């Protein structure tokens, strides 16, 4: 299934900046960055649970937020892109 993950991390403190970096790093591990602080992750339910757990143990719920959008396995007709930064299709042909 494809999960869209977006986050807002409060960066007014140094600790906040470090949280932001750590959140981004975890997201990169599981999916592709489609925009700043927006990630598309193609994961199975186990992997998602893992990712969710990791992210939620990093953020501070009083100042930061995370949002998950579940696009399911039939996500291709639910996503449209316009403009720069075209991503790749993780289920398509990967050839370089």
Closest CA to 66 of 79, 51, 46: 51
Decide if residue 37 touches other proteins (CB under 8 A): no
Choices 6-14, 15-23, 56-64, 83-91; region in contact with other proteins by CB under 8 A: 83-91
Element at 71 (helix H, strand E): strand 65-72
Which pair of tokens denotes residue 86? 């075209």
Site for other proteins in 10-29 (CB under 8 A): 25, 28-29
Task: Give the whole-angstrom CA distance, residue 75 versus residue 59.
Answer: 27
Residue ranges of the annotated binding site for Mg(2+) are 8
> Residues in the site for other proteins, rule: CB under 8 A?
25, 28-32, 41-44, 47, 88, 90-96
């Amino acid at each position: 299934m494809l999960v869209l993950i977006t986050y807002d991390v409060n960066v007014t403190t140094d600790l906040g900046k470090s949280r932001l970096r750590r959140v981004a790093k975890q997201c990169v591990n599981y999916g592709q960055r489609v925009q700043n602080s927006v990630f598309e992750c193609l994961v199975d339910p186990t992997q998602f649970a893992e990712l969710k757990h990791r992210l939620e143990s990093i953020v501070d719920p009083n100042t930061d937020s995370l949002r998950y959008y579940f696009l399911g396995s039939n996500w291709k007709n639910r996503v449209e892109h316009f403009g720069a930064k075209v991503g790749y299709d993780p289920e398509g042909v990967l050839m370089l």
